[in-house]
Structure 1
Amino acid sequence: MPGVDAPADPRASWSLPALGELPRTAELEPLVTRVLAPNPSGMTLDGTNTYVVGAPGSGQAVLVDPGPDDPAHLAAVEAVLAARDARCVAVLVTHHHGDHAEAALPWGSHFGAPVAAGSAQVAGPGGRVLDHGDRLRQAGTTLDVVATPGHTSDHLAFRLESGAVLVGDHVLGRGTSVVTHPEGDVVAYLESLRRVHDLGPSALYCGHGPELTEDPGAVLGYYLAHRAYREHQLLAALGRGPAGVDDLVAEIYAQVPRAVWPAAAQSTRATLDKLVAEGRVVWWGADESDADRVRLA
């Protein structure tokens, strides 16, 4: 199998804040203020980005991805609301992972605001389940709902009037996103990347890491190329013989900190499921229902 070079990440030449240097709050545009939650980790990077969205002077705001139910984080969000002279009128959630959704129902109750998300579990009793193409007219502005399944099955993005897109964990400000397994779906993820790309976003406001404003389309193109490269690496490794998932991860992610290998294993399994569905590889083992080894078809 011919060699394929790793795609170049366009962000490498951008002037982005280093890991751990994102400010606690930042006004990204008149419509949007970002509030960084105090939950940094290997998976959440600097922490979860909560977005306060609303037209200046409207007296209202929408919270997107409240994140962890942390008193200090709530106080920081309330300070932004006060500075905007706005009250929270809705809580929106991109997907069900706890680092984005944990505070949704508690904060919705605290603010007396409804919760809206892609699943009924997150939206809760009296909440709203959102679908692709829904248009939310709140806080003096409009947010368009964009279905972006792949990272999780219920993942949503929100396109703002400015052209910026709140992308949750679909695209990260640093590195690449995980396609969770078993609920994640690589085919859906790739389709969602193309869907966001076709919107021609003016900026990507990510669930973790800095905002991406210099060339959002280039980042989306890189994400697509990166997934193709990982697929090529798997096929090349399997061309040398059958292998277990852990062995594949150790080879392909050798230059990545071991702390993120469990997440890499999820993306690897999701990619292998895609290749199995395409008839290019097969799971292999004594018990096919529990096989952890794979080989070329």
Structure 2
Amino acid sequence: MLPVTAPVDPRTSWALPAPGTMAPVADPEPLVTRVLAPNPSPMTLDGTNTHLVGEPGSGQAVVVDPGPDDPRHLAAVEAALAARDARVVAVLVTHHHGDHAEAALPWGRHFGAPVAAATPAVAGPGGRLLRAGERLQLAGTTLDVVPTPGHTADHLAFRLASGAVLVGDHVLGRGTSVVTHPEGDVLAYLESLRRVHDLGPSALYCGHGPELTTDPGAVLRFYLAHRAYREQQLLDALAAGARTVDELVAVVYADVPQAVRPAAAQSTRATLAKLVTEGRVEPDGDRVRVA
């Protein structure tokens, strides 16, 4: 059995804002303004990050992940647009979860702008379906559509002309992302992490938590190592006699707050599905065992 050693998160040594102290509005680079939605929670961290993207002076902006349909958030986004002297020309959505997509169609109507996403359910009637590898020419700049399935099946990221990547829930500014079950897929998630890593991003602008600019590649390598670590922990727990998801979560996520245990259970189920696919564990009714 391989030793189970937790990988070191490189962000622990970075000067990131403490939880609950993120600025409500920030300009991480000239192309981007981040507006923090007022929906903090154990799962959304400080709240959902809505990003406005556009070439300065173009008079235009793209809204990426409008987030909750909240009048306070809309007012903050409109103030940020006014500061950029920009009007909205498109609304893009990384994936269908409500904390990212709820406001997409209402705001599309409000701004008179088309909505674009990976699925018709999010893009809505008359919306635009985005294709992997597509290059969008919008707001005086380019956004490359990067497929990043894993957290959800429909997840996308957007690479900016600056080299930064808007990663939605694929990578978080703090902690690690959940691979949802049954729609999430750990094998796809690992491949997506490698895909974003191979882009050599200059920064990661996350759907939740602070911007990651010091060494984005190190964060992506940590995410890959963290998944391998959790997988080995599950195998060790199974070898020690754990059989149900609840038993596995109690062992593997013993140091995780109770509020996020349901998310840990989802990632556990998704990892077990990977191990079943690989023939390393076998289902046994509502239980599992090492093959």
TM score, norm. by length of structure 2 = 0.99
Return the alpha-carbon distance in structure 2 between the equivalents of residues 93 and 175 of structure 1: 22
Give 5+ residue unaligned stretches, structure 2. none
2:88 maps to 88
Report if aligned partners of 1:242, 1:296 keep a CA contact under 8 Å in 2: no
Report if aligned partners of 1:32, 1:52 keep a CA contact under 8 Å in 2: yes
1:288 maps to none
Cα deviations across residues 182-219 of structure 1 (Å, max 9, x unaligned)?
Answer: 00000000000000000000000000000000000000
1:191 maps to 191
Map 1:62-101 to 2 at 5 A.
62-101=62-101
Which of the residues 279, 288, 291 maps onto 1:294? 288
Letter of the 1:62 partner, please give it: V
Aligned partner of residue 243 in structure 1, secondary structure: coil
Cα deviations across residues 161-180 of structure 1 (Å, max 9, x unaligned)?
Answer: 00000000000000000000
Return the alpha-carbon distance in structure 1 between the equivalents of residues 123 and 166 of structure 2: 18
- How far residue 242 of structure 1 moved from its aligned partner, in angstroms, is 4.7
Return the alpha-carbon distance in structure 2 between the equivalents of residues 265 and 240 of structure 1: 19
Report if aligned partners of 1:51, 1:64 keep a CA contact under 8 Å in 2: yes
Map 1:216-235 to 2 at 5 A.
216-235=216-235
1:162 maps to 162
Q: Provide the aligned C-alpha RMSD in A.
A: 0.6
- How far residue 241 of structure 1 moved from its aligned partner, in angstroms, is 2.4
1:209 maps to 209
Return the alpha-carbon distance in structure 2 between the equivalents of residues 119 and 72 of structure 1: 27
Aligned partner of residue 213 in structure 1, secondary structure: coil
Cα deviations across residues 10-68 of structure 1 (Å, max 9, x unaligned)?
Answer: 00000000000001000110000000000000000000000000001000000000000
1:61 paired with 2:55, answer no
Q: Could you list the structure 1 runs, at least 4 aligned residues long, displaced by more than 2 angstroms after superposition.
A: none
Q: What percent identity do the matched residue pairs reach?
A: 79
Map 1:121-160 to 2 at 5 A.
121-160=121-160
Cα deviations across residues 105-142 of structure 1 (Å, max 9, x unaligned)?
Answer: 00000000000001110000000110111111010000
Letter of the 1:120 partner, please give it: P
Report if aligned partners of 1:93, 1:101 keep a CA contact under 8 Å in 2: yes
Return the alpha-carbon distance in structure 1 between the equivalents of residues 3 and 72 of structure 2: 50
Map 1:268-287 to 2 at 5 A.
268-285=268-285
Return the alpha-carbon distance in structure 1 between the equivalents of residues 181 and 279 of structure 2: 19
Question: How many equivalent residue pairs?
Answer: 291
Letter of the 1:59 partner, please give it: G
Give 5+ residue unaligned stretches, structure 1. 286-290
2:40 maps to 40
Report if aligned partners of 2:242, 2:248 keep a CA contact under 8 Å in 1: no
Return the alpha-carbon distance in structure 1 between the equivalents of residues 29 and 277 of structure 2: 43
- How far residue 243 of structure 1 moved from its aligned partner, in angstroms, is 1.1
- How far residue 2 of structure 1 moved from its aligned partner, in angstroms, is 3.1
TM score, norm. by length of structure 1 = 0.97
Return the alpha-carbon distance in structure 2 between the equivalents of residues 242 and 251 of structure 1: 8
Return the alpha-carbon distance in structure 2 between the equivalents of residues 3 and 159 of structure 1: 37
Aligned partner of residue 116 in structure 1, secondary structure: strand
Cα deviations across residues 60-89 of structure 1 (Å, max 9, x unaligned)?
Answer: 000000000000000000001111111000
Aligned partner of residue 62 in structure 2, secondary structure: strand
Aligned partner of residue 85 in structure 2, secondary structure: coil
- How far residue 4 of structure 1 moved from its aligned partner, in angstroms, is 2.2
1:5 maps to 5
Cα deviations across residues 208-242 of structure 1 (Å, max 9, x unaligned)?
Answer: 00000000000000000000000000001111225
